[in-house]
Structure 1
Amino acid sequence: MLLDNHGRRITYLRLAVTDKCNLRCFYCMPEEGLNWLSRAELMTYEEMLRVCELLVKMGIDKIRITGGEPFVRKDIMQLLTAISKLDGLKELSLTTNGVLTAPHVSELKAIGVRSVNLSLDTLDAGRFFAITRRDEFANVMDTMHELLKHDIEVKINTVVMAGKNTQDIIPLVELTKALPVSVRFIEEMPFNGDGHSYSGALWDYVRIFDEIRNVYPDIQKIPDPLYSTAYNYQIPGHSGSIGIIAAYSRTFCGTCNRIRITPQGTLKNCLYDDGVLNIKDLMRDGKSNTSIVDSLRVAFNSREKDGWAAERKRKENPNFHESMATIGG
């Protein structure tokens, strides 16, 4: 059992395999994109597999592959297949924007991927283009239906943004009536690569819930899974469910079981810290597995209590927030 200094069990790794993305969502990055990492700055697949194997042996039993957009990286299915075979891993999942994913769904099913998080902030093609700056709505919807056809659990991640897509909250809720999807509404966070001014939590988890309850007063609370970051609900008669994630309010830190590793190999104990250990450097310096594990344990024993404390401890300018694409969704 892998525990941190607050007695919280660590079981979940979010591994970002690239910072590159084929969308340009305004809340994530500037229109011109970011200064993408060079190939040498990225961890190789061999390095990623090595660190995943070490962490699974330490107690991690769930790995989620994120980006950027995972399917932008060449031969990503080779890495996913190798990770899926790690002894002791119970769950492999991924987060994708769905643009390039549909052709790979049968392969994902074959290697045991049971759940996929699909980023989708609107069901309106015009607003999709305005938010993402790309005309890819049809491909994303094709991916959603392909996942459902293969009986892969679909969780739709929707960032709620004032003046941009709040009118999409109810249509997305209505999607759960006929489809067995979980639509999760996420508070906007300040990880935008300085692409726009962060508006703050104008739509926090309470306001989002009130918006839904005004239309569906019979909405019911359902049990939250262990370590859930979402408050979960269901509307009677609907096939799917609804989640609300207080990502900026940070109400779930007390049960946090997750760590993140960025594409360049930086371990993040918290989404809001600026990195606590560069694992890639340790590997390229020739450190043994034992030495790397010791360094990881030291890092896990210095986790901050919550996201607010982690943000205050940032070594760099605490008011600067990198793009979510560079740290993993």
Structure 2
Amino acid sequence: MEHNLSGAARPIQRLRKMNTAAEGCTMRDAFGREINYMRLSVTDRCNLRCRYCMPIEGVPPTSHTDILRYEELLRVAQAAVSLGIDRFKVTGGEPLVRRGIVDFIRSLKALPGIKQVTLTTNGLLLPPLLDGLLDAGLDAVNISLDTRDNAQYQAITRSSHTADEVLHAVRLCAGRLPTKVNAVLLSETAAQLVPLARLAEELPVDVRFIERMPLGVTDIAAEPVHREVIGRLRAVWPDLAPVHERRGNGPARYFASSGLRGCIGLIEAVSHAFCASCNRVRLTSTGLLKPCLCYEQGTDLKPLLRGGADDAALRDAIEQAVRGKPAAHCFAERQAVTERKNMNQIGG
């Protein structure tokens, strides 16, 4: 599973400093939206084969030589910071399968101008790395868990791992750093809605239910199960009500109850599009900077990184990608979606 790239397991050397001031810099797209958040994929590989993420046969792994080296990822991040992007989410695949990930996060967090570095993971490899990640300065973690039922977890992930292993990671993180549990809404896990939400009752964590986006090839049909979520949860926590505080960089709508230690979040990219306030771009592990998830278009930064381009050219390419950010996605019109890759290849 690991990317054994040259120098990846050793502390990363300091990059040459860009001759720009990130403080006070703001980058806006053609529609006036401030773009200050980048999802940074470090690998397309994963230790699970979730049914809604990839087909049963899996997908061919990208060659190690085509994956950006850590030094290249840091150079992109440094250029992005100089333009006003100061929040980064480290993703995969499963980012913790890549060797040297703790040192990479330490180096990313140390870049001048970066305000926040967070991580999305399935949690299975997290416990032995947690102390190192905290020492590296990780600001928050999102842990994916779609069910608390072990047999169902194994069926969804096509693995021998259990939900209990993920719950162990959640409990280790809770109280030590801001922690969110991400659950994809599936018709087959409808009975798990309340058990999953109870994690926000048991622990100081937010639980977020995510509407599945129509991307890639899977054997799970998209169903509008989101419509009944809040109603069902209010049957257990009657005072569940919207909160308007910002709890991270994403688009979730949050709800709180006096009976919960954390909040309940809904991310409904299809039915309640948040495009008007979208603040993000995505960098795939192969160097494609994508301004919108549902379109295949993007700006390939790898030729610049490996072709001797200077920092100004790299910044120009990032600005070009942001200028090309569309007004909205088209998930509600499946035939208009041009992105055919699975989420592990795009960056979860």
Q: Secondary structure at the match of 2:151?
A: helix
The gaps in structure 1 that reach 5 residues or longer are none
| Alignment partners' CA distance in 2, 1:77 and 1:171 | 32
**Other structure's SS at 2:345 match:** helix
TM-score, normalised to structure 2, is 0.87
TM-score (ref. length: structure 1) = 0.92
Aligned partners of 1:202 and 1:167: how far apart in 2? 15
1:145 match: 171
- Aligned-pair CA distance for 1:98: 0.6
More divergent stretch after superposition (140-149 vs 223-232): 223-232
SS in 2 for 1:13: strand
Distance 1:312 1:166 in 2: 24
1:69 counterpart residue number? 94
Which residue matches 2:234? 213
1:249 Cα offset (Å) = 2.4
Cα deviations by residue, 1:51-75 (Å, 9 ceiling, x for unpaired): 0111011111111100000011111
Distance 1:177 1:310, change over 3 A: closer
Q: Whole-Å Cα distance in 2 between the matches of residues 17 and 83 of structure 1?
A: 12
Q: Among residues 279, 295, 316, which one is paired with 2:317 in the alignment?
A: 295
Change (3 A) 1:311 1:268: farther
Of residues 176, 179, 190 in structure 1, which corresponds to 2:200? 176
C-alpha RMSD of matched pairs (Å): 2.0
Decide whether the 8 Å contact of 1:118 with 1:157 is kept in 2. yes
The farther-off stretch of 128-137 and 117-126 is 128-137
User: Which residue of the other structure, out of 228, 246, 256, is the alignment partner of 1:225?
Assistant: 246
Name stretches of at least 5 consecutive residues in structure 2 with no aligned partner: 1-25
CA apart distance, 1:178: 2.3
Q: CA deviation at 1:217?
A: 2.8
Confirm or deny: 8 A CA contact 2:295 2:338 kept in the other structure: no
Greater Cα offset, 49-58 or 131-140: 131-140
Q: Which amino acid aligns with 1:79?
A: F
Q: Aligned partner of 1:210: which letter?
A: G
**Conserved in 2, the CA contact under 8 Å of 1:273 and 1:313?**
no
Partner of 2:84: 59
Query: Structure 1 residues 39 and 228 mapped into 2: Cα distance closer, same or farther (>3 Å)?
Result: closer
**How far is 1:284 from its partner?**
1.6
**Which is worse superposed, 220-229 or 35-44?**
220-229
Alpha-carbon deviation of 1:88? 0.4
- Whole-angstrom CA distance in 2 between matches of 1:312 and 1:32: 24
2:294 corresponds to 1:252: no
Q: Report what 2:184 is aligned to.
A: 159
Q: How does 1:81-100 map to 2 (within 5 A)?
A: 81-100=106-125
Percent identity of equivalent pairs: 37
Aligned residues: 321
> Counterparts of 1:306 and 1:250 in 2: how far apart (Å)?
12
2:262 to 219, 222, 240: 240
Distance (Å, rounded) in 2 between the aligned partners of 1:300 and 1:133: 37
